[in-house]
Amino acid sequence: MKKQELRALYKQKRKDLTEIQIKGLQENIYQQIYNLDFSTVKNVHLFLSMPKFKEIDTAPLITYFRNKNK
């Protein structure tokens, strides 16, 4: 499958998610990240999410890493 086809496929999958599903998946991702050891990491790069595309809300992660001075 080509990159363009994969993008279209996953864009549609995100579009089909309900708000409850999105919140559950986000919480799962947050917990996985919070459980990682970042003690040797100096910088973390994140993208700013676009809610209209049902992307993960990165604001809690940005706050988390700012509090850890990353």
Q: Per-residue DSSP letters for the chain?
A: --HHHHHHHHHHHHHT--HHHHHHHHHHHHHHHHTS--TT------PPP-GGGT----HHHHHHHHHTT-
Provide the pLDDT confidence category of residue 1 given band limits of 50, 70 and 90. confident
Q: Place 2 in a pLDDT band, splitting at 50, 70 and 90.
A: very high
Tally of structural domains, the chain: 1
pLDDT digits (tens, 9 = 90+) for 23-50: 999 999 999 999 999 999 999 999 999 9
| Boundaries of domain holding 43 | 3-67
